[in-house]
Amino acid sequence: MANVVLIALLVFSALAAFAVYKWWQRQRVLRVERWVKDFLSLRYGKLPDHLSINCSDDRLWPVLVAFENPRTGSRQSLQFTCAGPESSFSLLSDQEEKR
């Protein structure tokens, strides 16, 4: 009987740890999205139209952002690095599609 209780506790602990990990990752994604939106609002004076933010759970993968440039109307693509705390977030590349 003790073995069954021990196995149940291990399974419960593993599930709880996984849930906390997924919650922590989701909070990171929300923090990155908020930071990107603040960055774009400061840069353009408002949030651009047709904004798409692709942020992976992998901290080493760049955050990909695409939107319609409010000044030119052309499609703009940005890449950000967001591997650590917010103070380390930075713009990696900025490309504008010519029409």
What are φ and ψ of residue 84, in 5° steps? Answer: -125, -145
pLDDT digits (tens, 9 = 90+) for 44-96: 999 999 999 999 888 889 999 999 998 888 999 999 998 888 888 999 999 98
Residue partners of 7: CB distance under 8 A and separation at least 6? none
Q: How far is Cα 84 from Cα 28, in angstroms, rounded to an integer?
A: 10
What pLDDT score does 72 carry? 86
User: Domain residues for 27?
Assistant: 2-96
Query: What is the model's pTM?
Result: 0.81
- Give how many domains the chain has, as a whole number: 1
